[in-house]
């Protein structure tokens, strides 16, 4: 896609430990379906989606979301999170699996990397994935929400298999980016006005 086919670009990092569903969330958001088992991500996988944004003064703008889907192996984390220093990320999406206690208990390792490397204005979202699997749930909604609140993160539970909250995750995230820019006197706003509506292409 050449530069002229979008007005703005947001870089978004997806991170979290292995097999928590990072790539499945993205696959559902971009392709609108659930594919079942995917190949493990090696290093980074890049993908993107262009959405339309309606500004308050009725201008239509194209926003390109550029996703950096990362590998969840612990030895790769310094490299993955080091990229937060080198590139202009707008948001980071940290994923755990609500049926996998270990993926939740080890979240502080990722949060430390994010806080050490991310910019002050970075929007942080914690995602409890696999919420359609109630019978196997190990981490309550409240526990996830509390961790997010204590670490200054937004919180949502998702399920790409049943298509629960996937669009909402990214819609809320985009709104939060615009809100932050609007309220930060030092930032260069991406848009003059906050978007009124967003629609997928």
Ligand X SMILES: Nc1nc2c(ncn2[C@@H]2O[C@H](COP(=O)(O)OP(=O)(O)OP(=O)(O)O)[C@@H](O)[C@H]2O)c(=O)[nH]1
Q: Strand 60-70 and strand 8-15: pairing? A: parallel
State the minimum distance, in angstroms, from the CB of residue 200 to ligand X. 20
Q: Does 41 bind Mg ion (CB under 5 A)?
A: yes
Bridge partners of 11? 66, 89
User: Out of Mg ion, ligand X, none, which partner does residue 117 contact, by CB within 5 to 8 A per kind?
Assistant: none
Q: What is the DSSP letter of 41?
A: P
Bridge partners of 109? none
Q: Which of 100/190 has CB closer to ligand X? A: 100
State the minimum distance, in angstroms, from the CB of residue 90 to ligand X. 21
Q: Does 130 bind ligand X (CB under 6 A)?
A: yes
Q: How many other CB atoms are there within 10 angstroms of residue 167's CB atom?
A: 15
Q: Within 6-65, which residues bind ligand X (CB under 6 A)?
A: 18-24, 36-38, 40-41
What is the four-CA torsion angle of 54, 56, 61, 63, rounded to 10 degrees? Answer: -80
Among 161, 175, 180, 182, binds ligand X (CB under 6 A): 161
Q: Applying CB under 6 A, which residues contact ligand X?
A: 18-24, 36-38, 40-41, 71-72, 129-130, 132-133, 159-161
């Amino acid at each position: 896609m050449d530069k002229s086919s979008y007005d703005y670009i947001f870089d978004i990092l997806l991170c979290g430990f292995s097999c928590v569903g990072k790539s499945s969330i993205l696959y559902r958001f971009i392709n609108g379906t659930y594919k079942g088992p995917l190949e493990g991500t090696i290093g980074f996988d890049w993908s993107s989606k262009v959405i339309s944004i309606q500004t308050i003064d009725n201008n239509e703008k194209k926003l390109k979301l550029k996703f950096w889907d990362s590998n969840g192996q612990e030895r790769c984390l310094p490299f993955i999170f080091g990229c937060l220093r080198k590139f202009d990320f707008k948001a980071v999406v940290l994923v755990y699996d609500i049926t996998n206690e270990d993926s939740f208990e080890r979240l502080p390792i990722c949060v430390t990397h994010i806080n050490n490397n991310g910019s002050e204005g970075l929007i942080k979202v914690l995602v409890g994935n696999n919420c359609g699997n109630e019978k196997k749930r190990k981490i309550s909604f409240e526990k996830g929400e509390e961790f997010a609140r204590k670490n200054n993160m937004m919180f949502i539970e998702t399920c790409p298999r049943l298509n629960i909250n996937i669009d909402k995750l990214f819609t809320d995230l985009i709104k939060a980016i615009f809100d932050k820019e609007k309220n930060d006197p030092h930032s260069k706003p991406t848009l003059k006005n906050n978007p009124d509506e967003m629609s997928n292409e």
